[in-house]
Chain A
Amino acid sequence: MPAAFDSVRAVGSDRAMLWGIPRYVVASLIAVLALFPFAFMVLGAFKESGEFLSNPFGVPAAPTWGNFAGLLTPEFGRYFLNSIIITAVSVFVSCLLGALAAFPLSRIRTRLNRPVMLLFLMGLMIPIHITLLPIYVLTQDLGIFDSLAAVFGPFIAFSLPVTIYVLAGFFQQIPDSVIEAARMDGAGYWRVFTKIIVPLSMPALSTVAIINFIFAWNEFIFALVLLSSPENFPIPLGLTQFSAQYRVDIPGVMAALTAATLPSVLFFLAAQEKVVSGLAAGAVAGE
């Protein structure tokens, strides 16, 4: 029997050999297509304007940090600061509210659980555009239009469906016996939540934090609609401003794009597995 298996594997690996070379060729071609725009951007960021026009694609002959130095302006720093504030607040609050909501939906049995869960999942299907005008009017009425506070509400609300879905799924898998034991010791729902559910769910919480980070860091349309002064712009909106302002200085804009992308790259390099599995987990909520 093991002999038969070995021969199968041998045939398999022969075939893999045959497949091997085209596989690497195709894989490399795709890698070129996937990386080319990124390389164009990073290489461009290190070129002088003149060199960029004569040699847009090659490696810079005389690499310069000058374009990055040009970014050290109060306005560009402001975009970064705004993005950090907006992202930090949205990620923290949506994880907190999401965890609070996922707990009853997964661990307190009521007849309303299914309909409420469906109501949240509907949010995945609602086009953001249908909420733009009402939210614009709402922020005007509340007097928070054109302030960072204006974008917190929609950012958090639209990240709740995925957050709740992923967390509820995870909470459900915590063994009943663990919770029963705590209840026997006289712990109420709040203690069970804070002392057992949350500490045991750190992997799931970090997953949703990553999904929400990617969403909030890159979000564009709510910022576009709800913010009007450049000093309140987060990075994506700042980039459109910057590229319009420095239309002719393409390497300068490329440096700005590179700087704006750097945090996500570092984040990804630090936690590749987590980011990938987090995105997959979040996407499955689409079912």
Chain B
Amino acid sequence: MGGASRASHRRGATGRSKKLLVWAAFLAPAMCVYGLFVLYPVVQSFSYSAFDWAGPGREPVPVGFGNYVEMFADPVFFKALGNTFFVLFASLAIQLPVGLMLALIITGPIRGRRAWRAMYFVPMLMSTVAIGILWSYIYNPDFGAVNAVLRAVGLESLAQGWLGQSSTALGAVMVAIIWQWAPFYMIIFAAALSGLPRDVYEAAALDGVTKWQQFTRITLPLLRPTVVTTAVLSLVGSIKAFDLIYVMTKGGPNNATELLATYMFKQGFTNYRFGYASAISIAMFVIALALTVLVLIRSWRATRGRVR
């Protein structure tokens, strides 16, 4: 009896360290890959940004904060920053409401929900590169659809080279971004909407609440956590926006569609200024971090307030 309990006691002590060993063994492969290709590069970028470096095989020259000083005096950097924030706010202000509207349609009383959903989902089936090439054709001044529609309705004077001029390029690209991503937000909102409690709506219907009141007083407040999720996704996604712009305009004309992401790429892989490009990527990282923390803190405060 005593021997058995002592044995089990000993098993408890070695069991705990064995447990930790097993825990670490299961985690190790993922941790190695993740550490090597995500965490370590982040640290390395910080150190690159303190050098003037033309890439592998060249001698790095330490410049301290020189790259950051240059960045804060670089008008193109600020142009790219402004454009990035434009994409960010336009995504929040247009993409999310459009996504929600699509979700309301496909979860509402409509025949053939699956068919509507499938049709709205189509943009998600195409790769960003394919979408970029396709939309460049749509904006083409000669055979593009936008100008063709304008000519057809007699607004010939408005027909123009949408992507080729600074004044319209960013807006034109933004439309393509919204077209591409609205279905993604639709899917998230639709999943949330179909999880909302039915009885609240039945009670509201008994009280004679109008559809609009139902939406603003019940649906939106209940969707709050989903709105926070989609807002974070959209913020972070906008900072990463690259593929579509790279394919459609490469940041041009005249930096009109330059984003931090395209500018960083240009400095790194066209001009081979690894240090300066790293400084720009650090700026992207800091902005993404700050925005995510900001949104999460706000939503956390709000839910705490409500619980109280």
Chain A residues proximal to chain B, CB less than 8 Å: 4, 8, 11-12, 15-16, 19-20, 23-24, 26-27, 30-31, 33-38, 40-41, 44, 52-53, 56-57, 97-98, 100-101, 103-105, 108, 110, 112, 116, 119-120, 123-138, 140-141, 153-154, 156-158, 160, 164, 189, 193, 217-218, 220-221, 224-225, 235-237, 239-240, 243, 250, 253-254, 257, 260-261, 264-265, 268, 272, 276-277, 279-280, 283-284, 286-287
Q: Any chain A CB within 8 A of the CB of B167?
A: no
- In the complex, per-residue mask of B122-148: 1 if CB is within 8 Å of any chain A CB, else 0: 111111111101110110000101001
Report the Cα distance A134→B268, complex, angstroms. 11
Question: Which residues on the B side are within 8 Å of A130 (C-beta)?
Answer: 41-42, 45, 278, 281-282, 284-285
Question: Are A189 and B22 touching (Cβ within 8 A)?
Answer: yes
B118 and A158 form a contact (CB under 8 A):
no
In the assembled complex, the CB of B121 is this many whole angstroms from the nearest CB of chain A, namely 7
Q: Are B127 and A134 in contact (CB under 8 A)?
A: no
B114 within 8 Å of A by Cβ? yes
Looking at the assembled complex, report how far the CB atom of B223 sits from the nearest CB atom of chain A, in whole angstroms: 13
- Note all chain A residues with C-beta closer than 8 A to B126: 38, 257, 261, 264
Residues of chain B within 8 A (CB-CB) of A37 are 123, 131, 134-135, 138, 145, 179
Q: Are A35 and B122 in contact (CB under 8 A)?
A: yes
Contact A153 B184 (CB under 8 A): no
Whether A23 and B110, one on each chain, are in contact in the complex, defined by CB atoms closer than 8 angstroms, is yes
Residues on the A chain within 8 Å of B79, using CB: none
Give the residue of A36, A133, A257 whose beta carbon is less than 8 angstroms from that of B48.
A133
Q: Counting chain B CB atoms within 10 Å of each CB, which of A16, A131, A279 scores highest? A: A131
A-B contact pairs, 22 of them (CB 8 A): A11-B205, A20-B109, A31-B120, A100-B26, A119-B39, A127-B288, A128-B240, A129-B260, A130-B285, A131-B41, A154-B37, A157-B33, A221-B246, A236-B127, A239-B133, A240-B133, A250-B137, A261-B126, A261-B130, A268-B118, A279-B187, A283-B187
Judge whether A277 and B191 touch: CB under 8 Å. Answer: yes
- In the complex, A160→B28 CA distance in Å? 13
Q: Is B34 an interface residue (CB 8 A)?
A: yes
**Does B88 touch A at the CB level, under 8 Å?**
no
Please give, as numbers and ranges, the residues of chain A lying within 8 Å of B96 by CB-CB distance.
none
Contacting residues, chain A, for B240 (C-beta < 8 A): 127-129
B37 touches A135 (CB 8 A): yes
Question: 3 closest pairs, A vs B, by CB?
Answer: A157-B37, A134-B41, A101-B30
Whether a CB of chain A sits under 8 angstroms from the CB of B89 is: no
Residues on A with C-beta less than 8 A from B285 are 126-127, 130
> A286 touching B229 by the CB < 8 A rule?
yes
Which residue of A11, A38, A250, A286 contacts B232 across the interface (Cβ within 8 Å)?
A286
Contact B102 A30 (CB under 8 A): yes
Main secondary structure of the interface of B (DSSP, over half): helix
Across the two chains, which residue of chain A brings its CB closest to B33? A157
For residue B29, which residues in chain A have a CB less than 8 angstroms away from its CB? 97, 100-101
Distance (Å) between the CB of B195 and the closest chain A CB? 10
Query: In the complex, are the beta carbons of A268 and B261 less than 8 A apart?
Result: no
| Given A8-B206, A134-B40, A157-B34, A31 and B116 contact (CB-CB distance below 8 Å) | yes
**For residue A127, which residues in chain B have a CB less than 8 angstroms away from its CB?**
236, 239-240, 261, 281, 284-285, 288
Q: With A129-B242, A133-B277, A283-B184 in contact, is A30–B120 under 8 Å at CB? A: yes
Which residues does chain A contribute within 8 Å of B30, judged by CB atoms?
97-98, 100-101, 120, 160, 164
CB < 8 Å neighbour of A27 from B116, B190, B246: B116
Given contacts A134-B45, A257-B134, 6 further A-B contacts (CB under 8 A): A34-B123, A101-B30, A130-B42, A131-B45, A220-B129, A279-B188
- Known contacts A97-B29, A110-B19, A131-B37; A23 and B105 CB within 8 A of each other: yes
| Cα–Cα, bound, A56→B146 (Å) | 12
CA distance A138 to B278 in the complex (A): 15
Contact B187 A137 (CB under 8 A): no
Interface of chain B residues 252 through 308 with chain A (CB within 8 A): 260-261, 264-265, 268-269, 274, 277-278, 281-282, 284-285, 288-289, 292
